[in-house]
Structure 1
Amino acid sequence: MKRRRGSPPEPGCLQAWAAENRALAERWRAARCSGPGGAVKREVRQQRGSFGELLLRMQGLPAALPTLPLELTVLYNSMLFTMGASDSAIKEAAEGIHQGLLRVLEACGACGKDLSTEELWQKVLREVTVEELQAPLHRLGALQAAWWVAASRLGSTAGLFRLLSNAEDPGRARCSEGENELLSLLKAWRVPAEGASLPLVQSTEDLKEILCTATAFLQGLQELEAGNFPTALSLLQEAAGGFCSKRVLAQIYTCLGCCAQRMGNLQTALQHLKRALQVDFQCLPALSHVAAVYQELGETEAELQALALLYEALEKNPPVAASSSPHFLIRTELPVHTPILASLLRHCHPSEVKYLLARRCLQDGRVADAVEHYLDFLALLQEGLQQQVPLDGGSPLPRIPEVFLEAASALEQAGRHQDAITVCEEVISRTTDLIPRMLRVEERLQRPECPSPGTGPSQQKESLCCLAWRAAGYLHQGWAWATLGKNKEAITQFSRCLSDLLRVQMDGSGAEPAENLLPEVEVLQKIRLLSLIGRGTQFLELGRHKEALLDFQHGLQISPGDPAALPYLVEALWKLDRKPEAAARWQKFSQSSPGEDRQGRPLPLFLASCLQRAAFPRREDLARSIGDYLGTPHVDPAS
């Protein structure tokens, strides 16, 4: 390309600018060596402004070849401070690089005004052959790569490094092939030597190492998100051996642990996650994943210990925004921004961990511990709902009424029935005004194609959830009163539960298999069945056998052959002296395989205690009585 004949600045200006660049770079090195702190942050802001002013003075004159090496060096230093200032400033730096390339073409008598940045780089690197500009352009190319990696434009980055390494192959598919060969291109790129006359605030060699690590990390995350776990593992291992801070290394090991977990290599996952904590004990997301791996391994004690440590750490040291290292203006974490990384490194809130402790203790039968944790969680809610309960979609917390009902379930199992009744009353009172008088819904999984105004699927689902919570509150109260020996109060609460459920009108055959039912409808049916069993048992205790029989029959209409309801029906028939019918029912029941019980979807945890209470307690006695009546050895269907 022909050189432009222009008037370069006076030699005195060039020397003054070079001296100013040198002084600023030396001042930065001195400030950086003083260690982290507010003074260094102030120096970053001052340096950004000073380099920016110097660059403006230089670019205020027409571009000239003699000054371009210095101008591009000042641009490099200025953009380093701009990109290191904040994530949002990276775009500003990209615009600065674009302007710098236009200045190069201007000095050479060419124009690139209408070209994209990618096209501009192609034109500059192919046509500008001035030897003095090669090193500054290569440094600027490394900054451009950092911007493109941050934007996940890995194909563009690979194309740039093909040009920088003189390894362009026009026949290649740049995007897909580029992503696969990007790391090798980066490693093969020869960093230009740093001249003493044009000092840099961050060496290009360091920038190259950071780009290699960030690219491996980013590609590993992309492969992890795509489900290509072996490739993801290889790339993340490459990143772990790269150039980064301890904080980022801990994040990489955390991602390695998550990748190994998804591959089913749980012990390997634990090793990676423990390594993350050894590198940076403040990497609390790793501790959260450790608990999840222990849960998958079935090691509940270790899981609960991990959760307890996590809760303690969050209480003592709430997560704060990580401070930036002053030693490197561009760091490995700067170009790596993906949703999956944010998801894997999500910091739990103390209230979430407290809930997980409560839930896992309840599921494992550690009732006393579960009660303590649930009450602690409810106390956290009292301190301020918005502050204590995360509202993002990644939270493990269920809806708050479900937590109250789970707490009631734990209290019941701990024998604190009055407390359970009180907790349920809170749910009932808060959902009363949220349920319509009548609710018509589809029984099957498919939703109505044209819902009537104001009763769309989302509102229907919300109404069904509120109804389930309120009905479950009455159900828990019924069983609690029953345990306290208050039959009439128990019958009242069971009846209120059943009355509430009459608000729902199903559009369907009424005999859908469980797997075809809407999840909310299946929960409502189970609540109805448990309430009928509960009320029926109270009628039996009061000697009202016919009413009990009707409830059990109704329950079996809802859930034919249900192993919980059928023994109660047989007992009611027996007490009504309908022994032949009772014996026939029992024989049919005893001949059915235990494996024939319908599984369906997992039911909410807040129904666990009710399911336990509904289990028939006199199975052996009933089997013996029927066996004696028939003159045959008694057979217990459960055996």
Structure 2
Amino acid sequence: MEDEFTTGFFSRKYIGRDMALSTTWDRCLHLWISENNGIIATWKLIVRNKDANILTDKQKCYHLMDQLFRKIKDLHPVKQLTSLELTVAYNLVIMHLNVELCAKEEHNQLIGGVLARVVEAHHLDCSKDGSFSRLWNTALSANCLLEHANIIQSLAGLQALIWWTQKKFQEVLNLFQSKATFPITDQFILTIVLKSWEIPDEENKNIHKVFKPSLIKDIVYAAVSFQQGVVQMAQEDYGTALDLFQEAAESCATKSLMARIFNHQGYCFMQKGLLHLALEYLKSAIQKNHKCYSAFYNSALVYKHLGRHKAEVETLFMLDCCLANPSEPVGNIDEWYYIIASDAFMEIESSSQASWVPSLSELRYLLAHNSFKYKMIDQAADYYMKLIRFLREEMNEEMSAPHVPNMAPLPPIAEILLETTECLIQSERLQEAMVVCEELIIKTKDVIPSRMIIDCAKDVDNVVNEQLNCILWTSAAHLLKAKMHALEDEPKTSITAYTR
């Protein structure tokens, strides 16, 4: 009798405690879902309105979401909070990416920490190593987590984007291995797996998300397809590259990404000799985003191949205007929807020839030199003088030593001064030509030695080579000076210059 009473007492005691805990979790869950949804509603209102203080307001939302995440994390991990905890982590990472505009190691730590708590809450074996790969393998394959497959796979896509930015390509391949029945050995095979990847439907639509999970797959696919297209383009497999760029275009693409895709497609068509088709794609790139500077430069190259020299120079001039006076970024109407975008996770500028843009000094030299070569003399003279003024203002060190070469593909400053002088002479701007010519003579005077001995049996070292160059440049300057005096009907002064 006593045993039955004792057993019944303790049973009622523990049942009562479990019911109390269940009620507490339900109350916390309800309050925290409301808090999460309120933050998401505020965030979406901010990005739609595009106020002047949008970044500050976004940061406030991020900090509120971070506080909510810390409240949940301070509690012992429990199954009841799994969906909320994963969603809050998902929202928090995306908000931080949107505010910071870059992926950081702390994002990996946050995602790893949440996965570890979920695994612990469901009493899953994750082995002693506790590695990221093991955590993901457990989370993606556990039957007891199937009801959370939507948010777990969305978080996996987010993890893939972060690793992609950090160039951890092998980790990305390993992450999606569970979605394939064959080994994923390279990025090309990964695109095939990603194309067939379908994120399951949401299990709990009451917990709001800052970004639609079904779009995560499209963003990952666009980033990987575009990157692989760049790889194929570098290998001169332009047909495959074009197919991959088209795949990226058909995924979740912002106007900025579409501009980059069109630019790369135009470059591929240019390399295949389909110049008019290339021009159409490059024009589309500029229409999508006027800050896609490489599309201007590639268009100029196409016009050059077509022999349309006036159009080539005009396009280079438009690019010069864009680079010299960059406008503030203009938000697209649909940009609020793409809180994160594929192009934010692509670091291809340094490896893609299609993305190359000349510096302002290089561009202005191209403008001047090409105009002079195409007999557009007056325009060339203006461009040369603009270049000289720019070099005086921005590159005083190089201007003080004309024998020092500039950044490729610019020739040495002295040769630019000689070209400018000849162009000004042909443009009948003799006074300006005389000033430029005299500047070259003065700046090379101290570099030229009074006496030189050259042993033809030995290689000429750099110092002697520079001195010889200065002698040639100065001699050319005196020759041009003599020519100018002759044009001004000053024969004696002209003969003196010829003698020099």
Q: Kindly tell me: are residues 299 and 153 of structure 1, through their superposed partners in 2, closer, same or farther at Cα, counting changes over 3 Å?
A: same
* Aligned equivalent of 2:482: 481
Counterparts of 1:97 and 1:428, CA distance in 2:
65
The secondary structure found in structure 2 opposite 1:270 is helix
Do structure 1's residue 31 and structure 2's residue 40 form an aligned pair? no
Report the counterpart of residue 196 of structure 2 in structure 1: 188
Aligned equivalents of 1:39 and 1:341: distance in 2? Answer: 36
Label 1:37 to 1:433 Cα distance change in 2 as closer, same or farther (>3 A). Answer: farther
- The aligned amino acid for 1:371 is A
* Distance in 2, Cα, partners of 1:91 & 1:441: 60
Query: Could you tell me how far apart the structure 2 residues matched to 1:213 and 1:115 are?
Result: 31
Mark the CA change 1:387 to 1:98 in structure 2 (over 3 Å): closer, same or farther: farther
| Secondary structure of the corresponding residue to residue 38 of structure 1 | coil
| TM-score, normalisation: structure 2 | 0.81
Q: How far apart in 2 are the matches of 1:180 and 1:107?
A: 37
- Residue 157 of structure 1 is matched in structure 2 by 172
Distance 1:187 1:230 in 2: 19
2-side partners of 1:441 and 1:132: how far apart?
84
Provide the aligned length of Structure 1 versus Structure 2: 468
Alignment of 1:336-415 (within 5 A): 336-340=346-350, 344-345=354-355, 351-385=361-395, 396-415=409-428
1:420 counterpart (402, 409, 433): 433
Distance in 2 (alpha carbons) for counterparts of 1:116 and 1:465: 59
Is residue 251 of structure 1 aligned with residue 260 of structure 2?
yes
Deviation at 1:351, TM superposition (A): 4.9
1:100 aligns with 2:82: no
1:13 to 24, 28, 40: 28
Q: Deviations over 1:460-491 (max 9, x none)?
A: 2x763464245223223224415644777667
**Which structure has the larger Rg over C-alpha atoms?**
1
* Residues 177-202 of structure 1, C-alpha deviations (whole Å, 9 max, x = no match): xx223223223222122322221110
* Per-residue Cα deviation, 1:98-126 (whole angstroms, up to 9, x for no partner): 22222223224445674442343224334
Q: Tell me, yes or no, if structure 1 residue 335 matches structure 2 residue 345.
A: yes
Could you say what secondary structure the match of 1:333 adopts? helix
Task: Name the TM-score, length of structure 1 as normaliser.
Answer: 0.65
Whether 1:198 and 2:207 are equivalent positions in the alignment is yes
Would the alpha carbon gap of residues 263 and 119 (structure 1) be closer, same or farther in structure 2, given more than 3 Å must change? farther
**How many Å apart are 1:80 and its aligned residue?**
0.8
The corresponding residue for 1:573 is none
| 1:375-402 deviation per Cα after TM superposition (whole angstroms, max 9, x unaligned) | 222233444447999xx99865433332
| Aligned counterparts of 2:71 and 2:491: Cα–Cα separation in 1 | 90
Residue 326 of structure 1 is matched in structure 2 by: 336
- C-alpha contact 2:421 2:480 (8 A) present in aligned 1: no
By how many angstroms is 1:328 displaced? 2.4
1:407-447 deviation line (CA, Å, top 9, x unaligned)? 01212334555643432331232234456775879999xx8
Structure 2 CA distance for aligned equivalents of residues 46 and 463 of structure 1:
64
1:299 counterpart = 2:308:
yes
Structure 1 residues 341, 441: closer, same or farther in 2, change over 3 A?
Answer: farther
Amino acid at match of 2:63: G
**Matches of 1:11 and 1:442, distance apart in 2:** 93
Q: Is structure 2 residue 102 aligned with structure 1 residue 88? A: yes
Matches of 1:443 and 1:257, distance apart in 2: 52
* Mapped partners of 1:421, 1:254: distance in 2: 43
Q: 2: CA distance between counterparts of 1:418 and 1:147?
A: 60
Q: CA deviation at 1:61?
A: 2.0
User: Contact (CA 8 Å) 2:368, 2:383: kept in 1 or not?
Assistant: yes
Please say if 1:285 is aligned against 2:294.
yes
Q: Deviations over 1:154-185 (max 9, x none)?
A: 4533432341x3x343xx3x332xx2232232
Match of residue 275, structure 1, among 284, 297, 301: 284
Amino acid aligned to 2:115: L
The separation in 2 between residues aligned to 1:443 and 1:112, in whole angstroms, is: 73
- The 8 Å contact of residues 478 and 489 in structure 1, kept in 2 or not, is answered as no
- Rounded to whole Å, the distance in 1 between the matches of 2:181 and 2:457 is 62
Provide the rounded CA distance (Å) in 2 between the counterparts of 1:121 and 1:431.
67
Change (3 A) 1:429 1:112: farther
What residue in structure 1 maps to residue 37 of structure 2? Answer: 22
Asked if the contact 1:343–1:394 (Cα under 8 Å) also holds between the matched residues in 2, the reply is no
Supply the distance in 2 between the matched residues of 1:99 and 1:199 (Cα, whole angstroms). 21
Give the secondary structure class of the aligned counterpart of 2:158. Answer: helix
- SS at structure 2 position matched to 1:129: helix
Between the aligned partners of 1:371 and 1:494, the Cα distance in structure 2 is 25
Superposed CA offset, 1:73-96 (max 9, x none): 111111111122234344322221
From 128, 135, 145, give the equivalent of 1:120.
135
The alpha carbon displacement at 1:238 in A equals: 2.0
Q: Which letter does structure 2 place at the counterpart of 1:377? A: L
Match of 1:209 in 2: 218
Instruction: Report the Cα offset of residue 254 of structure 1.
Output: 1.0
Matched, 1:76 2:84: no
Q: Is the 8 A contact 1:223 1:231 kept in 2?
A: yes
Instruction: For 2:28 and 2:453, locate their aligned partners in 1 and report how far apart those are by CA, in whole Å.
Output: 82
3-state SS of 1:334 partner: helix
The one-letter amino acid of 1:182's match is L
Q: Is the 8 A contact 2:285 2:292 kept in 1?
A: yes
**2-structure distance, mates of 1:168, 1:404:** 65
SS state of the match for residue 79, structure 1? helix
Percent identity, aligned pairs only, is 27
**Shift in alpha-carbon separation, 1:91–1:395, aligned structure 2, 3 A:** farther
Please give the residue correspondences for 1:453-532 in structure 2 after superposition, counting only pairs within 5 Å.
460=462, 464-465=465-466, 467-482=468-483, 484-485=485-486
Q: Deviations over 1:473-519 (max 9, x none)?
A: 322322441564477766765665xxxxxxxxxxxxxxxxxxxxxxx
Gaps of 5+ in 2: 1-17, 400-404
Q: Which residue in 2 is equivalent to 1:145?
A: 160
CA contact (8 A) 2:264 2:354 kept: yes
C-alpha distance in structure 2 between counterparts of 1:438 and 1:86, whole Å = 60
- What's the Cα RMSD here? 3.6
Are 1:288 and 1:310, in contact at CA under 8 Å, matched by a contact in 2?
Answer: yes
Which residue in 2 is equivalent to 1:572? none
Deviation per CA, 1:30-52: give whole Å up to 9, x if none.
Answer: 33333x23343233211211111
Instruction: Say whether 1:230 aligns with 2:243.
Output: no
In the alignment, the residues of structure 2 paired with residue 201 and residue 38 of structure 1 have an alpha-carbon distance, to the nearest angstrom, of 21
Structure 1 CA distance, aligned partners of 2:236 and 2:454?
41
Q: SS at the partner of 1:10?
A: helix
Q: 1:112 to 1:43 in 2, by over 3 A?
A: farther
For 2:406 and 2:366, the matched residues in 1 are separated by 16
Give the 3 Å change call, closer, same or farther, for CA 470–393 of structure 1 in structure 2.
Answer: closer
Q: Which moved more, 1:72-81 or 1:324-333?
A: 324-333
Please name the residue that 1:67 is paired with: 81
SS of aligned partner of 1:339: coil
8 Å CA contact retained: 1:367, 1:410: yes
Indicate the residue corresponding to 2:273 in structure 1: 264
What is the CA-CA distance between 1:319 and the residue it aligns to?
5.0
The 1:466–1:338 alpha-carbon spacing in structure 2 relative to 1, beyond 3 Å, is farther
Q: CA deviation at 1:141?
A: 0.6
State the alpha-carbon separation in 2 of the partners of residues 90 and 175 from structure 1.
26
For 2:166 and 2:62, how far apart are their aligned partners in 1?
23
Equivalent pair of 1:148/1:157 in contact (CA under 8 Å): yes
C-alpha distance in structure 1 between counterparts of 2:454 and 2:109, whole Å: 58
